[in-house]
Amino acid sequence: MLNTLLSGDLPRSRALSVLLLVVVLGLALAPFITSGARPLNTAATICIYIVLVASYDLLIGYTGIVSFAHTMFFGIGAYGVGLGFDSPAPAWGGMALGLAAALALTLVLAFIIGLFALRVRAIFYAMITLAVASSFAVLASQMSEWTGGEDGKTFDVPDLLSPANEFGEFMGRIVDGKVLTYYIVFFCAVLIFLALLRIVNSPFGRVLQAIRENEFRAEALGYRTVVYRIAANCIGAVAAALAGALMALWLRYVGPKTTLGFEVMTDILLIVVIGGMGTMYGSVIGAALFILANNYLKSLMAQAAGAVAGVPLLEAALHPDRWLLWLGILFILAIYFFPSGVVGKFRQEAARPGT
């Protein structure tokens, strides 16, 4: 059953299996094992980034495509939901129409970018995608009547998802529209992740890996590599747009900084490297570690600085304002000790004789 659900791609490491189980159970029970808005927001962000990073891993980890346009598709999905709900009486029909339009635009842009840009190699393709993404971000900022410009757009959702709509109490917590929204995000993220896992473990996914390893050999075997690369680009783009739709649904806000900013792209790259490229499970571990560090490292440093108050150098080094410095140090250490990512390291250790 589990083997079928995971498309035959088991973790292949006892330690990795335990870590994945902890993350999944933590996310599944987040509304009931935490209190307050911040932990739930952190859990929802992890779910969304798992999908976003997994969709990017399909490109960079399984196909060898380096693209900087992923945030553009992420933003298109978010704006599709935001514009669909942007009315005095938000309805599911408007959201569905907005999401459908966003996915159609995503497919068209991904196909065009793939058609014209995937025929070039490496850095040239990366630069083309960066230029397209930057142009789209500028366009979204200038179309203020539709997008809200730099300030973005806040919108309402149907009453079913309103925090004021309470369904009852479970495990000591009031189950309301916000909790329901969280579980919509969680289960959608699970379904999209399992779909991507199935794709990379299908014959189509094997061809993508062959292209990554040696494109000329794959062509010699009769595969039209450009077609496969364009298809991978379109699948990854659609998954990124769906992640953006989940982000908009959760935040009830869309803006260029939350979806289209280059900072989002750098976060995706960092998470892929931390988790492990070409593993899919790396998106789960990497997103959990990175988002938790991003949300709680500053608070932990404030507590640590208070504990060592009076020790001049140590107190200054642990000052909360220096949390980005320590985040960078942690990233460097992760690369040093886990050069193939956390998932890759666990699998290598499990594959050693006698382990």
Pairwise CA distance, residues 285 & 308, whole Å: 31
Q: pTM of this prediction?
A: 0.94
Count of C-beta atoms within a 10 Å radius of residue 310? 6
The residues, any chain, with a CB within 8 Å of residue 8's CB and separated by 6 or more, are 201
Q: Smallest Cα–Cα separation from 259: which of 140, 173, 342?
A: 140
State residue 354's pLDDT score.
59
Domains of the chain in sequence order? 2-351 (1.10.3470)
> By percentage, how much of the chain surpasses pLDDT 90?
46
Report mean pLDDT in 10-residue bins for the chain, 355 residues.
82 91 95 89 96 95 89 94 88 92 95 77 79 88 83 88 85 87 96 96 93 87 88 95 96 89 90 92 94 88 78 78 83 84 88 68
Q: For 262-291, what is each residue's pLDDT tens digit?
A: 889 999 999 999 999 989 999 999 999 999
Given a contact cutoff of 8 angstroms between Cβ atoms, the answer to whether 49 and 222 are in contact is no
Q: For 91-107, what is each residue's pLDDT tens digit?
A: 899 999 999 999 999 99
